[in-house]
Copies of this chain bind each other. A is one copy, B any other.
Amino acid sequence: MVIIGGGFGGLYAARALSRADASITVLDRTNHHLFQPLLYQVATAALAPTDITSPIRSLLSGQANTAVFLENVDRVDLARRVVVTEHDSREVPYDYLILATGTNHSYFGHEEWGQLAPGLKSIADAREIRRRFLLAFENAEKSNDEQARDEWLTFVIVGGGPTGVELAGMIPEVTHNAMRRDFRRIDTRRTRVILLEGGPRVLPSFPDDLSAKAARDLTKLGVQVRANARVTNITQNAVFLGDERIPTRSVFWAAGNAASPLARTLGVPLDAVGRVLVQPDLSVPGHPEVFVVGDLAVVLQANGALVPGVAPAAMQEGRSAARNILARIKGQPARPFKYLDKGNLATIGRHKAVADFGRFHVTGYIAWWFWLFVHILYLAGFRNRLSVLIEWAYAYFTYGRGARLIAQDESGVQDPTQR
């Protein structure tokens, strides 16, 4: 059987099949599993890329029935039951297939904004944001033009979901503390952070009171939170909200959802952003041998609500799909997926977080420590867990930032940091 994607969904599916009497092939276009919930910490130079990645093949090296290949998949041929690779159009046959290739951010039809406002889904994205973030202060320090300096010291984040909120909350922490003493001509405490949310409130997937609390916490940190703010244009040195022009040289994108293009090749019903509308057992309509898990799947709960696109849901779906395959092999019926909501967490800078456990809403210190505990617990691979813990402990006590490396230019933009 074949699993496409080594994220939370694919990895947990593979692990649930570790003792299956079957030959399992895992395909991913990167060599690493990425702990996406901490990606914003790489983007703000708090953690190194290797802290939140582990080679997929190492994570699965213990199970002899599983082979891992670095492979870009071009399409799935449901009729012929083969997966076709992009590079050499090789066909990989399957009896069972789990598709777990996730989603990317979306520029709502303005793909030209991609170059100006990088998103945050992969390690490459995080490195690009980190590069622009650090470079902005270097350029501000050099600049003799006051307006340009202000533009370099203004960061606009588009999208008020967890990623946008966490990114926005992190920037003041870094600029007010760690960076302050490093510059001679600028005061990094003058850095402005503007968070733009298109809808009426930040963290729309959280209850109202936690959204409001998050907005207050962000405001206390100095972040300008703007709801109902829809971006209409982005240029080299400004973001436009209709007629309003916000001068800035750094825009980071944390909005929108676009399903992995592999879903389109299935030829089955998709939702508006291209995700697959799966059956209750996570299989594709008409193809009981094909499952879709994680962010790429639209899964309806018994109460009519959609399963949220979060890591715990992807893990549960991966495990559930694996169990359904094992059941089918034994001639037993597949079972509908049941989402166990373990709560919803978002952190806002240092010492602040919001946690939604259904009836209980927790905020502030306690939520933050809980957030820390959960993320350390789930971080894949012992080494990274230890390494991240040390980085965090160091940053916590010194307000220092560990990973302030401006990497080689990865976007083709002229870059003076290149050696």
Within 8 Å of chain B (Cβ to Cβ): is A323?
no
Within 8 Å of chain B (Cβ to Cβ): is A236?
no
Q: A65-98 interface mask toward B, CB cutoff 8 Å, 1 = contact, 0 = none?
A: 0111111100000000000001100000000000
Within 8 Å of chain B (Cβ to Cβ): is A208?
no
Q: Are B124 and A407 interface neighbours, CB within 8 A?
A: yes
Q: A67's contact among B72, B127, B185, by CB below 8 Å, is which?
A: B185
Q: Are A138 and B70 interface neighbours, CB within 8 A?
A: yes
Q: A405's contact among B49, B71, B87, B416, by CB below 8 Å, is which?
A: B49
Within 8 Å of chain B (Cβ to Cβ): is A344?
no
What are the residues of chain B within 8 A of A71 when measuring CB–CB? 142, 416
Docked CA distance A122–B142 (Å):
24
What are the residues of chain B within 8 A of A386 when measuring CB–CB? 390, 394
Q: Are B406 and A141 interface neighbours, CB within 8 A?
A: no
* Tally of chain A residues near chain B (CB < 8 A): 60
Closest to A391 in B: B387
Q: Are A87 and B49 interface neighbours, CB within 8 A?
A: no
Q: Are B49 and A416 interface neighbours, CB within 8 A?
A: no
Closest to A416 in B: B72
Q: A48's contact among B48, B135, B142, B404, by CB below 8 Å, is which?
A: B48
Within 8 Å of chain B (Cβ to Cβ): is A53?
yes
Q: How many copies does the complex hold?
A: 2
Interface-forming stretch among A55-63, A244-252, A348-356? A55-63
Within 8 Å of chain B (Cβ to Cβ): is A227?
no
What are the residues of chain B within 8 A of A184 when measuring CB–CB? 64, 66-67
Closest to A56 in B: B182
Interface-forming stretch among A14-22, A25-33, A306-314, A330-338? A25-33
Given known A67-B185, A70-B138, A182-B55, contact A408–B124 (CB-CB < 8 A):
yes
Q: A394's contact among B70, B383, B418, by CB below 8 Å, is which?
A: B383
Q: Are B183 and A57 interface neighbours, CB within 8 A?
A: yes
Tell me the smallest distance from the CB of A93 to a CB of chain B, in Å. 15
Tell me the smallest distance from the CB of A166 to a CB of chain B, in Å. 20
Within 8 Å of chain B (Cβ to Cβ): is A417?
yes
Within 8 Å of chain B (Cβ to Cβ): is A134?
yes
Q: Are A408 and B127 interface neighbours, CB within 8 A?
A: yes
Within 8 Å of chain B (Cβ to Cβ): is A402?
yes
What are the residues of chain B within 8 A of A391 when measuring CB–CB? 387
What are the residues of chain B within 8 A of A190 when measuring CB–CB? none
Q: Are B181 and A405 interface neighbours, CB within 8 A?
A: no
Docked CA distance A141–B68 (Å):
9
Q: Are A123 and B408 interface neighbours, CB within 8 A?
A: yes
Within 8 Å of chain B (Cβ to Cβ): is A403?
yes
Closest to A384 in B: B402
Within 8 Å of chain B (Cβ to Cβ): is A400?
yes
Q: Are B407 and A69 interface neighbours, CB within 8 A?
A: no
What are the residues of chain B within 8 A of A403 when measuring CB–CB? 50
Docked CA distance A185–B66 (Å):
11
Q: A123's contact among B57, B70, B407, by CB below 8 Å, is which?
A: B407
Within 8 Å of chain B (Cβ to Cβ): is A341?
no
Closest to A417 in B: B30
Given known A87-B416, A387-B390, A416-B71, contact A405–B138 (CB-CB < 8 A):
no
Q: List 9 A-B contacts (CB under 8 A).
A: A30-B418, A31-B405, A50-B402, A53-B405, A55-B405, A67-B141, A69-B141, A123-B405, A383-B394
Interface residues of A (CB under 8 A from B): 29-32, 48-51, 53, 55, 57-58, 61-62, 64, 66-72, 86-87, 121-124, 127, 134-135, 138-139, 141-142, 181-185, 383, 386-387, 390-391, 394, 400, 402-408, 410, 414, 416-419
Q: Which 4 A-B pairs give the minimum distances between C-beta atoms?
A: A124-B408, A70-B138, A48-B50, A50-B403
